[in-house]
Amino acid sequence: MNNDIINRYTLMLIRQYWEKPKAKAEIQAMMKQWQIIADFIRNPDNFDIDKATGYRLDVIGRIVGLSRSVPAVIAKVFFGFEGHENSAGFKSKSKPGYVGAPFYSKFSPAYGDYQLGDNEYRRFLKVKIAKNATSGTIASDDRVSLQEVIQAAFNGEAYVTDRKDMTLALNISPQISLDELRLIVKLGLLPKPAGVRYDYYYQVTPGQTFGFSRNPSARGFASKFNTAYQGGFFSRKIHV
């Protein structure tokens, strides 16, 4: 342990206490915890996102403004028919390990809380830091752009478009689950300029979604004259 803070405060003793061992001992006892904190802060490894775990990640989260706990974000499983998303049947007598689902009630919350693990938390902390430093424009040469933050948040499986009416549209790949999208939205990781909002969320497949010719990632209608050319699929609006 470095004793620089303890030594600094020891030197502040008034002259008649310089040679008093009890006075020096009192300073050491009072400043010991502050010395530990200072030594912790000075060690860069303690704030390296790629190395930090547990409580140290929580400290970084408080600094950048991102909590590990996310309320009401994961869809609960309720009783429903086979093939329906987030549904399960009755409990089975012949299968003790199979747990049935309760009936849905409009008085109970449809979504449960979620606690981010270290790997997820580390990933979203990096996105939050990028969002805090974003330029506020879709493309930027000198600062982090909105598009780059969106790419980082969804691991390259999404992009943002400007609707030219003070709203943005988020286009995500079918590889992204609704729970993951809802989680990112709840965490407030979608960057946007002041006064602008995300109005729509679309599920698209880059290179396969129907669109206009000015969009290089879009496809047009199928051609009966060129059977090798497959047309694009319409995007699907999703709600979170």
Q: Which residues sit opposite 210 in a β-bridge?
A: 219
Provide φ and ψ at 93, rounded to 5°.
-70, -35
> Positive or negative, the Cα torsion across 180, 181, 183, 184?
positive
> For 156, which DSSP code?
T
pLDDT for 150 = 92
Question: pLDDT tens digits, the chain, 240 residues: what are they?
Answer: 678 888 888 888 888 888 888 888 888 888 888 888 888 778 877 778 888 888 889 988 998 999 999 888 877 777 667 666 666 666 666 666 666 666 677 777 777 788 999 999 999 999 999 999 898 888 877 888 899 999 999 998 888 888 888 999 888 888 888 888 989 999 999 999 888 988 878 777 766 666 666 666 666 666 667 766 666 666 666 766
pLDDT for 119 = 93
Structure tokens at 193: 């300029």
> For 77, which DSSP code?
P
Q: Which residues sit opposite 169 in a β-bridge?
A: 161, 200
pLDDT for 125 = 95
| C-alpha–C-alpha distance, residues 76 and 87, integer Å | 8
pLDDT for 90 = 67
- The domain segmentation of the chain, as residue ranges, is 4-42, 136-240
CA-based end-to-end distance of the chain:
50
pLDDT for 234 = 61
| C-alpha–C-alpha distance, residues 29 and 6, integer Å | 9
Alpha-carbon distance values, 122 to 59, 65, 67, 231 (Å): 12, 13, 11, 40
Structure tokens at 89: 């049947």
Residue (of 99, 102, 97) closest to 112 by Cα position: 102
| C-alpha–C-alpha distance, residues 205 and 111, integer Å | 27
Question: Which residue type is seen at 217?
Answer: S
